[in-house]
């Protein structure tokens, strides 16, 4: 470890709440924080992403030369689906053009539409909300759990009404939401679960893959994801009928897969191309090893961050048997940093070249949500009273606090080396040591 041992971190953590060494093993990197004119601690860029070599080039070239570029005449998509379903431990996998497409297809297959309510996690990417709005259903947020940054599953039951037709919990940042509680409520209230697993490829709950518990599990293979092909997505499910409906919907309702579904439902065009699938299959061969690497680095960083006063890495529920760390989330408490606002802390981290960002805005307060609910379509479907009630139901005090406090260390960081983890911890300690000055800078 560069200048800092874990034991030292403990000492640092208890040294007047400043992360300062009281002699002994911890030697903070000398010098001032970069924001105050010091040399950035993080000299090298973080792990480069995506990782590829001539295998991806060869896979792509083969598709080009075959002339079989779409799933109708090639077999790359199908092959990927078979492998991914096997990996997920589900009967089916349907590849889609994106994670958003996977979520929307799931909702369509479940028959979600105008008048319906869909529960969702509020601390997530906009797509989780957008797909509900795309179906002209009402998004009902369930507040977050401050300790894990996941949906607070204990609050789901109270959010269900006679109009609730589905719920979308999100497994955020490689971690897993409380699937015991989610599935218990879902079964008791007969509400299908669409697991938004877009950030949690290979994550596990009690030894089974996240995404395989609900009616469907939806994945994203967008460029930043642990498994990616630039853009792409997939749905996994054990439900034969739902699979057929998803297939039909994602191919303009054509029932290409099963003649019983011809002309049964309308749909859209969310197909994965043969190019995407070829790259994805190659990337998939790297996934397990990369994931183990991520886990080791992220666990190491977590162990160090935990010891810094005012830094609270997101906890895992006991049922989460594998967190694949699509980034690392921690809460920042400015009281331990001389009252320095999070924005300033992020600026100071940025100056040290630590790849960190401030995460998501409060989705329930986004202007576009208000605009959607005020749109002609929504106003026609829902009474003013119902929309006003929705606004009241969608107050999320815990999530508001979460959004204010969260710092997100970027996913690519964790495919880099162990020394980078130490540099991140050191950078935070250095900022903390000079917090008063940095805050005033």
Ligand X SMILES: Cc1ncc(COP(=O)(O)O)c(C=O)c1O
127 in contact with ligand X (CB under 6 A): yes
Exactly one of 19, 217, 233, 313 binds ligand X (CB under 6 A); that residue is 233
* 375: its two tokens: 């749109």
Q: Is residue 436 within 8 Å of 357, Cβ to Cβ?
A: no
| Contact of 234 with 217, CB cutoff 8 Å | no
CA nearest 244: which of 231, 256, 229? 256
Contact call for residues 239 and 215 (beta carbons, < 8 A) = yes
The minimum distance between CB 105 and ligand X, in angstroms, equals 11
**How far apart, in whole angstroms, are the C-alpha atoms of residue 436 and residue 16?**
14
Calculate the dihedral angle through the C-alpha atoms of 378, 383, 384, 386, rounding to the nearest 10 degrees.
-100
Residues 306, 425: Cα–Cα separation, whole Å = 10
Q: Of the two residues 173 and 356, which places its CB atom closer to ligand X in the complex?
A: 173
Q: What values do phi and psi take at 120, rounded to 5?
A: -150, 160
Site string for ligand X, 86-125 (x = CB under 6 A): ------------xxx-----------------------xx
Closer of 81 and 422 to ligand X (Cβ): 81
Please say which residue, 95 or 198, places its beta carbon nearer to ligand X.
Answer: 198
Quote the CA–CA distance of 202 and 196 in Å, as a whole number: 13
Instruction: Give the shortest CB-220-to-ligand X separation in angstroms.
Output: 3
Q: Binding string to ligand X for residues 300 to 339, with x set by CB under 6 A, is what?
A: ----------------------------------------
Q: What is the DSSP letter of 130?
A: H
Residue 123 Cβ vs ligand X, minimum distance, rounded to whole Å: 9
To ligand X, the closest distance from the beta carbon of 82 in angstroms equals 21
Handedness of CA 368, 374, 376, 377 (dihedral sign): positive
**Paired tokens of 401:** 């606090």
d(C-alpha 94, C-alpha 73), whole Å: 16
User: Does residue 148 belong to the site contacting ligand X (CB under 6 A)?
Assistant: no
3-class SS shares of the chain: helix, strand, coil, % to 5 = 45, 15, 40
**Positions 329 through 388 that interact with ligand X (CB under 6 A):** none
Task: Specify the residue, 124 or 216, whose C-beta has the smaller distance to ligand X.
Answer: 124
State yes or no: residue 169 binds ligand X (CB under 6 A): no
What distance, in Å, lies between the first and last C-alpha atoms of the chain? Answer: 30
By beta-carbon proximity to ligand X, the closer residue of 363 and 424 is 363
Our CB check for ligand X shows the closer of 1 and 324 to be 324
Encoded one letter per residue, x for contact with ligand X by CB under 6 A and - for no contact, window 268-297 reads ------------------------------
Least distance between ligand X and beta carbon 102 (Å): 8
Residue 385, Cα to own-chain centre: how many angstroms? 34
| 170 forms part of the interface with ligand X (CB under 6 A) | yes
Among 90, 106, 128, 399, binds ligand X (CB under 6 A): 128
The minimum distance between CB 196 and ligand X, in angstroms, equals 5
Distance CA 324, CA 311 (A): 20
3-class SS of residue 109: helix
Residue 170 CB, nearest approach to ligand X (Å): 5
| Minimum distance of ligand X from residue 103's CB (angstroms) | 6
Determine if residue 192 is left, alpha or beta; phi over 0 gives left, psi from -120 to 50 gives alpha, anything else beta. beta
Toward ligand X, which CB reaches closer, 46 or 228?
228
At closest approach, how far in Å is the CB of 130 from ligand X?
9
Identified binder of ligand X from the candidate list 90, 212, 222, 302, rule CB under 6 A? 222
User: What residue is closest to ligand X based on CB?
Assistant: 99
Beta bridge partners of 196: 170, 218
> What's 259's DSSP letter?
G
Q: CB of 323: closest distance to ligand X in angstroms? A: 15
For ligand X, the closer of residues 149 and 170 by Cβ is 170
CA Rg, the chain, in Å? 23
By CB under 6 A, the residues from 182 to 221 that bind ligand X are 196, 198-199, 220
Residues that bind ligand X (CB under 6 A): 98-100, 124-125, 127-128, 170, 196, 198-199, 220, 222, 233
């Amino acid at each position: 470890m560069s200048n800092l041992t874990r034991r030292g971190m403990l000492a640092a953590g208890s040294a007047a709440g400043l992360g300062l060494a009281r002699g002994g093993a911890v030697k903070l990197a000398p010098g001032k924080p970069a924001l105050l004119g010091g040399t950035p601690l993080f000299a090298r860029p973080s792990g480069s992403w995506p990782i590829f070599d001539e295998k991806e080039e060869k896979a792509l070239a083969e598709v080009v030369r075959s002339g079989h570029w779409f799933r109708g005449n090639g077999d790359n998509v199908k092959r990927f689906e078979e492998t991914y379903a096997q990996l997920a431990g589900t009967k089916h996998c349907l590849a889609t053009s994106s994670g958003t497409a996977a979520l929307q297809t799931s909702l369509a297959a479940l028959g979600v539409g105008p008048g319906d309510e869909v529960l969702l996690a509020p601390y997530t990417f906009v797509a989780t909300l957008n797909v509900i709005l795309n179906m002209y259903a009402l998004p009902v947020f369930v507040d977050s759990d401050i300790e894990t940054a996941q949906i607070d599953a204990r609050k789901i039951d109270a959010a269900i009404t006679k109009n609730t037709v589905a719920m979308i919990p999100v497994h955020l940042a490689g971690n897993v939401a409380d699937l015991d509680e989610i599935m218990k409520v879902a079964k008791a209230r007969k509400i299908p679960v669409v697991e938004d697993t877009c950030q949690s490829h290979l994550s596990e709950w009690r030894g089974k893959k996240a995404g395989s518990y609900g009616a469907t599990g939806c994945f994203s293979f967008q460029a930043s994801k642990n498994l990616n092909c630039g853009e792409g997505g997939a749905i996994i499910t054990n439900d034969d009928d739902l699979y057929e409906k998803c297939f039909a919907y994602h191919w303009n309702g054509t029932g290409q897969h099963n003649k019983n579904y011809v002309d049964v439902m309308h749909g859209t065009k969310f197909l994965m191309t043969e190019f995407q699938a070829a790259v994805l299959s190659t990337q998939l061969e790297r996934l397990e090893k990369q994931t183990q690497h991520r886990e080791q680095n992220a666990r190491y960083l977590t162990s160090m961050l935990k010891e810094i006063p005012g830094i609270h890495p997101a906890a895992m529920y006991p049922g989460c048997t594998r967190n694949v760390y699509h980034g690392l989330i921690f809460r920042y408490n400015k009281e331990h940093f001389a009252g320095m606002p999070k924005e300033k802390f992020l600026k100071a981290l940025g100056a040290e070249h630590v790849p960190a960002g401030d995460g998501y805005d409060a989705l329930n307060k986004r202007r576009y949500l208000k605009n959607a609910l005020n749109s002609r379509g929504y106003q026609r479907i829902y009474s003013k009273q119902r929309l006003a009630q929705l606004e009241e139901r969608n107050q999320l005090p815990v999530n508001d606090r979460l959004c204010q406090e969260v710092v997100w260390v970027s996913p690519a960081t964790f495919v880099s080396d162990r020394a980078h983890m130490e540099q991140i911890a050191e950078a935070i300690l250095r900022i903390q040591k000079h917090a008063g000055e940095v805050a005033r800078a």
